[in-house]
């Protein structure tokens, strides 16, 4: 069976193709198209024309799996009726690092614009890759959602770490002596709104009303509001003091960081709902870890 090997170098904007026969003779080289649907269809037509003219029975295609830029063209080529009906078609992918290592192994590379595509085609000719496929449609949405969720969790952890550093600068004894957690709604409201002097000197009833309003009466534990406020005032008195201008800058930065955390947490909650919905489409149960 006569075989044609096509290597495709993928970038965000273009697809660069090089083809050779099983003896390594070039069929075409440096054929460049835009990385969009019309461009990929043009490449498919070009592959078909050359494979048909030379009476090839098998068309093997491999491409560089660059970021996400390969996926649309992979599907379009893989599902091409023109290629599948007329030839035995297979399509594979290379990791870009593998392509680089392949290039390093060659002493004399062709001086063409499609050198990466040539390397991919030549390695394909020696059967150095196995057939690949994109994830099944039922799993792909879940994969994208869980990756996004993972990034959200990392970003939340990062923002919380930044916030705790700012909390120490503004209210150094907060984590040691404050009667509630740093990222409760009551804590964030207190830290965004008041200076240490205001907390230490504010009327107990006014501070209690503020905490009640910003916590929905859910500060946790069995302590009364009076005990909570007494501990909070003590923590404020025992903390280091910043100069007013520095305190203002830290408070503003902290408030914006809290806004980031609130937003990211809201996005995380939304993502959990969507992931649960997608899980219903999969027969095998998966466990979604809690954050």
- Rounded distance, CA 30 to CA 252, Å? 55
Mean pLDDT along residues 13-27: 94
pLDDT, residue 284, reads 56
* Segment 29-61, tens digit of pLDDT: 999 999 999 999 999 999 999 999 999 999 999
* Segment 57-77, tens digit of pLDDT: 999 999 988 888 998 999 999
Full DSSP string of 2-46: -EEEEEEEE-SSEEEEEEEETTS-EEEEEEEEESSHHHHHHHHHH
Tokens coding 236: 């404020």
Cα distances (Å, whole numbers) of residue 283 to 15, 138, 278, 280, 286: 37, 10, 11, 7, 9
Cα distances (Å, whole numbers) of residue 216 to 13, 22, 186, 208, 213: 53, 74, 9, 12, 6
Tokens coding 53: 């003219």
Given a cut of 80, is residue 28 above it in pLDDT?
yes
Confidence of residue 217 (pLDDT cuts 50, 70, 90): low
Given a cut of 90, is residue 83 above it in pLDDT?
yes
* Segment 224-250, tens digit of pLDDT: 777 888 889 999 999 999 999 999 999
Greater pLDDT, 229 or 162 = 162
């Amino acid at each position: 069976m006569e075989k044609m090997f096509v290597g495709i170098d993928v970038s965000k904007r273009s697809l660069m193709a090089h083809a050779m026969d099983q003896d390594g003779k070039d069929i075409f080289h440096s054929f460049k198209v835009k990385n969009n649907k019309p461009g990929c269809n043009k490449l498919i037509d070009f592959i078909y024309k050359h494979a048909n003219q030379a009476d090839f029975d098998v068309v093997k295609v491999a491409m560089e799996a660059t970021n996400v830029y390969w996926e649309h063209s992979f599907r379009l080529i893989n599902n091409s009726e023109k290629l599948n009906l007329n030839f035995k078609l297979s399509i594979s992918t290379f990791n870009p690092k593998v392509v680089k290592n392949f290039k390093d192994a060659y002493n004399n590379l062709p001086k063409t614009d499609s050198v990466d595509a040539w390397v991919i085609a030549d390695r394909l000719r020696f059967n150095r890759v196995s057939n690949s496929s994109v994830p099944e449609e039922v799993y792909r949405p879940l994969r994208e959602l869980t990756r996004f969720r993972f990034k959200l969790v990392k970003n939340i952890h990062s923002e919380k770490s930044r916030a705790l550093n700012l909390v120490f600068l503004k209210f150094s004894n907060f984590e040691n002596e404050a009667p509630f957690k740093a990222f409760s709604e009551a804590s964030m409201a207190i830290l965004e709104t008041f200076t240490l002097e205001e907390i230490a000197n504010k009327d107990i009833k006014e501070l209690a009303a503020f905490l009640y309003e910003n916590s929905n009466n859910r500060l946790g534990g069995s302590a009364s509001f009076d005990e909570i406020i007494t501990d909070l005032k003590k923590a404020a008195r025992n903390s280091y003091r910043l100069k007013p201008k520095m305190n203002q800058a830290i408070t503003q930065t902290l408030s914006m960081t809290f806004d980031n955390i609130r937003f990211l947490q809201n996005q995380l909650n939304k993502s959990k709902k969507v992931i649960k919905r997608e899980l219903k489409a999969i027969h095998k149960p998966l466990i979604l870890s809690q954050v």
